[in-house]
A and B are shown apart, each in its own frame.
Chain A
């Protein structure tokens, strides 16, 4: 009695497996890629929302006067008179009601928060996996009696290992744009 598979049977089985497995892997790969993209997108959205709302809330409630740089004193004060505005820059400093200074500075791929309480250090608002780019912040004022407004804009993107979040695969690039204008409450 003959036992075992014939050559034909074996070849057929291998052929079927050979067709099914690549399809299966392709499907799994597509799913994983899509999942990764959503992860990255929700991550940059989360951090972008955080930066945007942190900036908005702090600036709206705490800013008393606006300064172009350090040291924060009367000579660096900007946006004081009527119809005054500043050119968009990468950093701006403020004084709060208690005369404590704080500010935001953008360099490299990070947006950092600085303040008098943090001696010689700054706190990065974005994590190392997420880049902030094209950050600009400026102020303007219409009349001496109206509140100053601060406008800022930036892009967030996910680090792909290449500069400026570039990638050889366009579908891998995830980037979001943020912009806002805030009117001061305690000026």
Chain B
């Protein structure tokens, strides 16, 4: 008599194998995704640090010019995708992700004067990028004082 597998046995086997492969695939996909996010986070952190360094540079150059960049008292936003001496463009970067190579980061600077006369400036750099449908952020805050 020829011995062989019954249909039920084969079905059970294929189901178990299918479940296993699906699980393995989803773990791998998740892994790959979080690795990509990690990579982008490293780059974004560097861009944020670079932004803070640039603000510090502006502060060290001339305090009296530096404090003119926020006259609202409630904070002013600049889009610092490129670090020129002319403070990028006023207002949020919005959808312009032009920082980095390949370019898909945006860098916003929120600057807020404190004290009267101004003796302290709060700066917040936010680097954002699109990860699929989500928008991810890396934020660095720093306080600049007149005397330091």
Contacts and interface: CB of A to CB of B under 8 A. Distances in A.
Interface of A: 1-2, 27, 30-31, 34-35, 37-38, 41-42, 45, 48, 142, 149, 151, 176-183
Contact of A34 (B36, B45, B54, B62): B36
A38 B36 CA distance: 8
Contact of A2 (B2, B39, B61): B2
Contacts of A142: 62
A34 B39 contact: yes
A180 B57 contact: yes
B53 A34 contact: no
19 contacts: A1-B2, A31-B31, A31-B32, A34-B32, A34-B36, A37-B39, A38-B38, A38-B39, A38-B42, A45-B42, A45-B45, A142-B62, A176-B43, A177-B50, A178-B50, A179-B54, A179-B57, A180-B53, A180-B56
Contacts of B50: 177-179
B98 to A, nearest CB: 15
A1 to B, nearest CB: 7
Contacts, number: 50
A2 B54 CA distance: 81
A142 B64 CA distance: 13
A41 B42 CA distance: 7
B145 to A, nearest CB: 13
B60 interface: yes
Contacts of A176: 43, 46
Nearest to A151: B57
Contacts of A41: 39, 42-43
Interface residues of B, number: 21
A31 B35 CA distance: 9
Contact of B60 (A35, A38, A48, A181): A181
B28 interface: yes
B46 A38 contact: no
Interface in B26-85: 28, 31-32, 35-36, 38-39, 42-43, 45-46, 50, 53-54, 56-57, 60-62
A23 B20 CA distance: 16
Contacts of A31: 28, 31-32, 35
B55 to A, nearest CB: 11
A101 B42 CA distance: 36
B78 to A, nearest CB: 18
B1 interface: yes
Nearest to A176: B46
A48 B43 CA distance: 12
Contacts of A178: 50
Given A1-B2, A34-B35, A38-B35, A181 B56 contact: yes
A149 B28 CA distance: 50
